């Protein structure tokens, strides 16, 4: 009993540390980040400042460490036993790799949407309610109903599913499933939403809907998106980070970072220019 109380108060301290910091210009500050899988270095010495309430895209060829990096932003890499990170990732002024920080708390504040839609094999309603419930939601049934509706509206899915909230989520189409995953993420009210190629398994119309949704979401959330699709990055993002394997070490790093319009029209780096104009490889 005492043990439980002690644990909870410890995580409260950490969560206050995370959220009570003065609101700066940047949601996430990455400083000299390197990521390793055992002896293999996947990402080297990345420094990146991700602005609040904007869409930041991370682009680059396959295998350059884009997914590895975005998964470091909410400590999803912890699930891979051999992975570890060096450097700092500051979220609300607090290094999320500080040993005192609980990764569970980090993931509550920095949500994630995955490449393949992965709704839980439960009803649509339960998909959204579950995240709130496990994070200590104590409202009544009608409060939960409101939260589900708000989240589904936030993900532009309410009108399509409002009559079948209790039907299984896996019966939805791929695009709807992905928007359900977004709704599920915003139901726990994170500050940042990470999207790891959210539209790569979807058709163009579903992709368009996700992109439109991102424009709505950035009014309230900071969005980081990994994408293979350069048009998507150009259309949907405000800032773009270009990642590439360095020629000597075969590890990924950010070679250029700036406003999306600058990256696509006046790239400073020759490799970026080759890549965004399709001359690469």
Partner 1 sequence: MNERGIFGKQSVNNLPQRHRMALIWRLIFQVSTIVGIITLTALLYNILNSTFGYLIIETKINPASLNAGDVPLEDLTKDALIRILEENITLGAFRTLQRDLPFEQRSRDDVFDLVVERVLKPDVKVTFSLVDSLFKRNEIEETLASSYPNGTLVFRTWLTPRFLITPQASVPLFAGVRTAVIGSLWTIAITILVAFPLGVGAAIYLEEYATDNSINRIIQTNINNLAGVPSIIYGMLGLAIFVRALEPITSGSLFGLVADPSTANGRTIFSAGLTLALLVLPLIIINGQEAIRAVPNSLRQAAYGLGATKWQTVWHHVLPAALPGILTGTILAISRALGETAPLVVVGASTLITLDPSGPFSKFTTLPIQIYQWTARPQDDFRNIAAAAIIVLLILLLTLNASAILLRNRFSRRLV
Q: What residues between 179 and 198 interact with partner 1 by CB under 8 A?
A: 181, 184-185, 188
Interface with partner 1 (CB under 8 A), residue from 21, 98, 100, 116? 116
Long-range contacts from 205-210, C-beta under 8 angstroms, 24+ separation: 205/175, 206/173, 206/174, 206/175, 206/176, 206/178, 207/175, 207/232, 209/156, 209/175, 209/179, 210/175, 210/178, 210/179, 210/182
Nearer to partner 1, 112 or 161 (CB): 112
Query: Of 222 and 253, which has the nearer Cβ to partner 1?
Result: 222
For partner 1, the closer of residues 134 and 249 by Cβ is 134
Residue 187 or 255 having the CB closest to partner 1: 187
Q: Which is nearer to partner 1, 116 or 164 (CB)?
A: 116
Shortest CA distance to 259 belongs to which of 251, 250, 268?
A: 268
Q: Rounded distance, CA 133 to CA 126, Å?
A: 10
Closest CB 46 distance from partner 1, rounded Å: 22
Beta-carbon-side half-sphere exposure of residue 135 (alpha carbons within 13 Å): 21
Contact track, partner 1, 127-166, x by CB under 8 A:
---xx--xx-------------------------------
Write out the residues near partner 1 by the rule CB under 8 A: 74, 76, 79, 81, 104-105, 107-109, 111-114, 116, 118-122, 130-131, 134-135, 168, 170, 181, 184-185, 188
């Amino acid at each position: 009993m005492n043990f439980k109380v002690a644990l909870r108060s410890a995580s409260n301290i950490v969560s206050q540390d995370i959220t009570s910091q003065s609101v700066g210009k940047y949601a996430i500050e990455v400083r000299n980040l390197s990521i390793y899988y055992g002896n293999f270095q996947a990402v080297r010495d990345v420094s990146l400042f991700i602005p609040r309430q904007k869409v930041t895209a991370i682009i680059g060829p396959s295998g350059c460490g884009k997914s590895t990096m975005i998964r470091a932003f909410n400590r999803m890499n912890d699930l891979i036993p051999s992975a570890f990170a060096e450097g700092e990732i500051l979220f609300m002024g607090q290094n999320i790799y500080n040993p005192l920080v609980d990764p569970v708390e980090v993931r509550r504040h920095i949500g994630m949407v995955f490449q393949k839609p992965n709704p839980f094999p439960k009803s649509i309603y339960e998909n959204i309610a579950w995240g709130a419930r496990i994070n200590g939601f104590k409202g009544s049934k009608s409060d939960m109903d409101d939260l589900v509706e708000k989240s589904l509206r936030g993900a532009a899915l309410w009108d399509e599913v409002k009559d079948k909230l209790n039907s299984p989520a896996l019966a939805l189409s791929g695009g709807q499933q992905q928007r359900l995953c977004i709704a599920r993420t915003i139901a726990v009210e994170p500050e940042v939403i990470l999207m790891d190629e959210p539209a790569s398994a979807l058709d163009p119309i579903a992709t368009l809907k996700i992109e439109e949704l991102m424009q709505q979401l950035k009014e309230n959330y900071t969005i980081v998106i990994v994408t293979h699709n350069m048009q998507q990055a150009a259309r949907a993002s405000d800032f773009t980070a270009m990642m590439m394997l360095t020629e000597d070490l075969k590890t990924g790093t950010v070679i250029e970072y700036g406003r999306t319009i600058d990256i696509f029209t006046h790239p400073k780096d020759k490799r970026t220019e080759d890549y965004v104009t399709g001359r690469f490889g």
